Amino acid sequence: MRPPDSITDGVVALRKLRESDRAVTLSTFADPLVRQWLNMPAKPSDADFDSLLRTIRNGFESGDRYDYCVTELPDDVSLGAVIASRRHRDNWEVAYLARAEGRGRGLMTRAVRLLCDHLLSAEGATCVAFGVDVDNHRARRAYRRAGMTPTVEYLDLDTRGGERVRCVLMTRTA
C-alpha cells in the first residue's frame, strides 16, 4: 500500500518534509531537549538536511520508513516529526521529536496516536513499539497517552557515548 501524503485528526496534520522546512528543521536538530535524547549531528548543516530529504524519499519509496512533519492546523509550519520505521515484517518502530514551540500542548501525543492508528489499521502492522530511555519521562508520558504501554525493560548501547542505558519498550499491538 502507498502511504498517504498527509494524515490529520483535524487538530494536527502529518505531512511530508519540504525544502521550505530547511531552516526550522536544522534548528530542531540543535534543540537542547532533542539533543539530550536523540543522536543528532554536532553542528547541523545543509548537508544533514539534504541527507534527511534523501532518507525520507527512499523510505517512502521502499515502504520501510514513513517520516512526517507535524503541524498544527491551520498552520503549515513544522513543529516536529514523527517517524515510523519497519523493523521486522509487520513490526514497526515509532519515534518522535518536537521543537520548543510544538511541546506542552498534547500535539505530539496526537501525532504519535495518528501514525500508530494508520500503521495498525491501514498498513497491517501487528505491533508498534519504541525503546525509550527510562529517564525520558516526558516522552514516556506522551507514548502512554498515545495508547502505548510499557512492556519490558532492557539495557541498550547509547549510540552517542557507547554507554549502556536502561530502556523501556513502549508497545501497542493490533
Ligand X SMILES: CC(C)(COP(=O)(O)OP(=O)(O)OC[C@H]1O[C@@H](n2cnc3c(N)ncnc32)[C@H](O)[C@@H]1OP(=O)(O)O)[C@@H](O)C(=O)NCCC(=O)NCCS
Q: What residues make contact with ligand X under the rule CB under 6 A?
A: 33-34, 37-38, 80, 95-98, 103-109, 130, 132, 136, 138-139, 141-142
Cell of 162: 557507547
In DSSP terms, 91 is beta-bridged to 88, 127
C-beta of 108: minimal distance to ligand X in Å? 3
Closer Cβ to ligand X, 94 or 120, answer by number: 94
Q: Which is nearer to ligand X, 16 or 103 (CB)?
A: 103
- Report CA-CA distances (Å) from 117 to 40, 52, 94, 132, 138: 27, 25, 11, 20, 21
Q: DSSP string of 78-92?
A: --EEEEEEEEETTEE
Q: Which is nearer to ligand X, 92 or 96 (CB)?
A: 96
Nearest-approach distance from CB 123 to ligand X, in angstroms = 19
Question: Could you tell me if 79 and 99 are in contact, meaning their C-beta atoms sit under 8 angstroms apart?
Answer: yes
- Considering the complex, state which of residue 124 and residue 158 has its C-beta at the smaller distance from ligand X: 158
CB of 121 to ligand X, least distance (A): 21
Residue found under cell 554536532: 42
Q: What are phi and psi of 163, to 5 degrees?
A: -85, 160
Name the closest residue to ligand X (Cβ).
Answer: 106
Smallest gap, in angstroms, from Cβ of residue 149 to ligand X?
Answer: 16
